[in-house]
Structure 1
């Protein structure tokens, strides 16, 4: 009797599950969910190219240095690079004395040798880039209750990351009239900023790149908003994948070896089994 009851209970739950699945599919087809402002007005990243793109792409060291300058003078006020050490900057073409000077320009957490208490000290090449805020509470208080994300892996954390960063930085604009006409309740709240390249269209970060001349490039490049956005996007591509060039350089010999090994294996197979196949036919 218990077995029959358990079978009936199992059948009941199976039928209920199939019915709910079928009913949900039917409702999704006959009564689709209304479109949202995010679905209608969210844009994919702009089509922009970088020197590191493609299977043979390489970093443009000068562009990376310009991008670092934008980070240091603009972005570092709110965003951290907790996975990048100052000594890593030598890969961008900076000399050891230059790296020491850059590190010394940052204050990092340390210990007072006299009192033993926590204190700030000038950075050293072995230190990592410090956080701009002491804690999350301070970060929220300074950024409209939003915590600025760490940028170390940003271009890997977002789809089409390099282009996403560039598009976001150059995508600030006024809300389109058609958006407010179609979705009256989607008006950007006070303190937020409309950007169609951001997932929910509104973000707490004000436009960080305000205009030409915000940064004075040491190589004489004209610092337009478009140029600064490309440079910082390229720099963040490097922070996320510092071994990108080496990976590509290693990949081609590996592919060549695998192709050679495949041909060699096939030829060996033909040589070893050729006589046996002939004997079978005989």
Structure 2
């Protein structure tokens, strides 16, 4: 009799605990529906990245399977070299990796040698630092800004940000966009951007310290004749940064497709063998 009583008490305590939790959850939901949290400035003004269609998108994405996709990556590298490289490093990529984009060995050597930032070297005897020209085997040298903070490395930027290439493209083309009149009415403090900052609705907290890198059309000259509009340059450098973040994507997709085809064929052969072995056997 006593064990039954103890079990009943345990059940009652458990049911009471569950009931209290359910009651608290119910009223939390009701309160959230009736009194939703106030909209923040970031929620009111932040824009989702624009759509960006690149050859590398999707399960069949590629980098250099077509002539145009190869040219786009080379254009993107040019934009990085002429516009971005003075501030942002690409330290996880080697100069010789550019051969994957269609550059030959001589071109890679010249790019490495002419690169504005040189490789730091130390004289073991004197204990002083100097510089030497980059070699194809070197990684792109780091850019330093002593005392002022170093801008982020771009090697993995499209992996580190949600929506990757679309985020980069939207950010680069979003400096000209201004808060809507409705948003400014709710948050008048955003009518004036803080000194040293730049409003960009695609940046997480809306104000970014980086000035607009792409200041107008024809900032670079494309050798393939493509017009270097601000929009085109933003697309091209976004495509290039997808490659720096995952240069093996094209090989990985090809290998994955081969594995899927192999498994489909193996499944068909296995089923055919099953039918052959059990043919004539009555169930």
TM superposition score category, shorter chain reference: 0.7 to 0.9
| Deviation of 1:21 (Å) | 3.8
Which of 59, 63, 66 is 2:75 aligned to? 66
- CA distance in 2 between counterparts of 1:196 and 1:180 reads 13
SS at match of 2:148: helix
Structure 1: gaps (5+ residues): 140-146
Which of 101, 107, 111 is 1:98 aligned to? 107
- CA distance in 1 between counterparts of 2:257 and 2:92 reads 28
Is 1:108 matched up with 2:108?
Answer: no
Which of 156, 159, 169 is 1:156 aligned to? 159
| Deviation of 1:12 (Å) | 8.9
Q: TM-score, normalised by structure 2?
A: 0.82
Structure 2: gaps (5+ residues): 1-5
- CA distance in 1 between counterparts of 2:204 and 2:137 reads 36
Q: TM-score, normalised by structure 1?
A: 0.82
Is 1:129 matched up with 2:140?
Answer: yes
| Deviation of 1:51 (Å) | 2.6
Once the two structures are superposed, residues 139-159 of structure 1 have per-residue CA deviations (whole angstroms, 9 ceiling, x without a partner) of 2xxxxxxx5221111112222
Distance 1:198-1:56 versus aligned 2 partners, 3 A rule: closer
C-alpha contact 2:45 2:179 (8 A) present in aligned 1: no
RMSD: 2.6
Tell me the equivalent position of 2:3. Answer: none
SS at match of 1:259: helix
Q: How many residues align?
A: 265
Distance 1:16-1:67 versus aligned 2 partners, 3 A rule: same
- CA distance in 1 between counterparts of 2:145 and 2:63 reads 36
- CA distance in 2 between counterparts of 1:196 and 1:189 reads 15
- CA distance in 2 between counterparts of 1:274 and 1:30 reads 67
Is 1:261 matched up with 2:259?
Answer: no
